[in-house]
Amino acid sequence: MPSRFPNDFLWGAATSAYQIEGSPLADGAGPSNWHRFTHTPGHVTDGSTGDVACDHYRRWGGDVTLMAELGLQAYRFSIAWARVLPEGRGQVNAKGLDFYSRLVDALLTRGIRPNVTLYHWDLPAALADRGGWLNPDVADWFADYARVVYAALGDRVPMWATLNEPWVVMDAGHLNGGHAPGHRDWFEAPRVAHNLLRAHAEAVRAYRAEAHGRLGQIGIVVNLEPKYAASDREADQAATRRADAYMNRQFLDPLFLGGYPEELREIYGEAWPEPPDAELHALREPLDFVGINYYTRSVTCDDPRARPVRAGRVRQPRHAHTEMDWEVYPQALTDVLTWVTRRYGRVPLYVTENGAAFYDPPSADGGAVDDPLRVAYYRDHLRAARRAIEAGVDLRGYFAWSLLDNFEWGYGYSKRFGIVHVDFTTQQRTPKASARFYAEVIRSNGANL
């Protein structure tokens, strides 16, 4: 097997609406759950909000020029549901849709392929008031919203993802409470997971029912974190299986294999809702691709206190860690891509997010940002992605997270993931050394790796 990326490999970068846009209520948009969450003190470590973020809602033209200068072939972004439907359903806000329509046109003019995610965690507040992801009707609300977006952009957008990281919506939003809506309720979490999957499947069916639904591809984006047992002890092995079921198989098993992993019953006990067979059946809507967000792995041990999964993480002090305290472990990217292919079949895959937060100064000194740790992270993970291709994985593209330093959810602006530095006082953009490196990866189709 030649050690190179396929000629048509797609190179891109990713962002999401609430993290970069700012102006959350402009032009008739409704508030989102994240708007409320950040405007409630105590949720974001640096007390910040997405009110301005990267001001991309007003600076999008310059940002597209920047993407073109870096040679990006694709751009993954998300749509803010509450810009399109301020109440979450019903009345369409044409101005909100127009924003995305102009963005799509600008990308296409520059030869950059738009890759649209319909939901990257910002739920219209009006729907949160109706129970949000807990309300079974959310599947219809989401499909209705998706139809509005397909009708407006479907003729020009070749690549769609329904949800970004449903696991995080369920775990951080409803089990651990670190994300909107900030709930900590074991009984909610599995019902939210199921409704997310139902909504996803409805939106896929809605897409395929459209005429242009045959022209583009539709899939889902999941975050996967390979679990490696800390020891041969049966307790650690069992904890690793539970952690793996909870994080890696909970969403993909129902979509590809028709049922939830057994371990979830053990994890949730009386909180497990046991979804009806007919509903499980309806989740198995064929997908054109799976997007995988990969950042780190976990060395897992039994930990009875870490409920409900009862699995802990054993820190690896001899390995490098990012500013998120995530272990840098590129081989797990190869492992996770080959695992998905083995378990679910040779489905087309994209790495839809991969990248690292490392310290960069708030202002770009002398117009440059040297970020050798991030360059090394990208180089080593891209090599790991190439090894997966050599091992037979149908990997079709890679998206760096993120194009811009941005609002990192509960961490606010304290974690910089961008390949382009953003000075949040002046909104000045400065491509970091990692952006230059990545531009050369794209130009040479990975020959410099």
Residues 6+ apart with CB under 8 A from 21: 50, 53, 54, 56, 57, 80
399 lies in the binding site for ligand FCB (CB under 6 A): no
Query: Please, which of residues 18-57 interact with ligand FCB by CB under 6 A?
Result: 19
Catalytic: which of 21, 165, 188, 263? 165
Closest CA to 244 of 267, 275, 276: 267
Would you say 38 or 164 has its CB closer to ligand FCB? 164
Rounded CA-CA distance 348/228 in Å is 25
Min separation Cβ 388 and ligand FCB, Å: 20
Q: What is the C-alpha to C-alpha distance for residues 427 and 358, in angstroms, rounded to an integer?
A: 19
For position 203 contacting ligand FCB by CB under 6 A, the verdict is: no
Answer yes or no whether residue 413 interacts with ligand FCB by CB under 6 A: no
- Taking the complex as a whole, the smallest distance from the CB of residue 357 to ligand FCB amounts, in Å, to 7
Among 164-172, 202-210, 328-336, 425-433, the segment contacting ligand FCB (CB under 6 A): 164-172
Does 409 help bind ligand FCB (rule: CB under 6 A)?
Answer: yes
Least separation in angstroms between residue 112's CB and ligand FCB is 20
Which residue, 272 or 417, is less far from ligand FCB as judged by CB?
417
417 binds ligand FCB (CB under 6 A): yes
Of the residues 9, 16, 88, 197, which one makes contact with ligand FCB according to CB under 6 A: 16
Count residues contacting ligand FCB (CB under 6 A)?
A: 12
- Residue type, position 337, single letter: L
Distance CA 103, CA 293 (A): 24
Compute the least distance from the CB of residue 366 to ligand FCB, in Å: 28
Among positions 337, 408, 413, 429, the unique one binding ligand FCB when judged by CB under 6 A = 408
DSSP conformational letter for 30: P
Q: Which residues of 361-374 are buried (b: 16+ CB within 10 A; e: fewer)?
A: eeebeeeebebebb
> How many other CB atoms are there within 10 angstroms of residue 179's CB atom?
21
Nearer to ligand FCB, 230 or 382 (CB): 382
Q: Check residue 75 for interaction with ligand FCB (CB under 6 A).
A: no
The single residue listed with the structure tokens 């993480």 is 313
Start-to-end CA distance of the chain, whole Å, equals 17
- What is the C-alpha separation between 237 and 242, in angstroms, rounded? 9
How far apart, in whole angstroms, are the C-alpha atoms of residue 357 and residue 313? Answer: 20
The residue count of the chain comes to 449
User: Of 117, 164, 240, 430, which one interacts with ligand FCB (CB under 6 A)?
Assistant: 164
Nearest to 385 by CA among 431, 435, 438: 438
Q: How far is the CB of 415 from ligand FCB (least distance, A)?
A: 8
Q: Is 354 in the site for ligand FCB (CB under 6 A)?
A: no
Helices (H) and strands (E) in the chain, counts: 16, 13
Residue type, 170: M
Asked about 274 being catalytic, the answer comes back as no
165 is an active site residue: yes
Helix (H, G, I), strand (E, B) or coil at 358: coil
Among 225, 244, 253, 353, binds ligand FCB (CB under 6 A): 353
The per-residue DSSP string of 97-144 comes to: HHHHHHHHHHHHHTTPEEEEEEESS--BHHHHTTTGGGSTTHHHHHHH
Decide: is 223 part of the binding site for ligand FCB (CB under 6 A): yes
Q: Minimum Å distance from CB 17 to ligand FCB?
A: 10
Contact flag: residue 293 with ligand FCB (CB under 6 A): yes
Considering the candidates 188, 225, 353, 408, report the single residue annotated as catalytic. 353
By CB under 6 A, name the binding residues for ligand FCB. Answer: 16, 19, 164-165, 168, 223, 293, 353, 401, 408-409, 417
Q: Which residues does the annotation mark as catalytic?
A: 165, 353
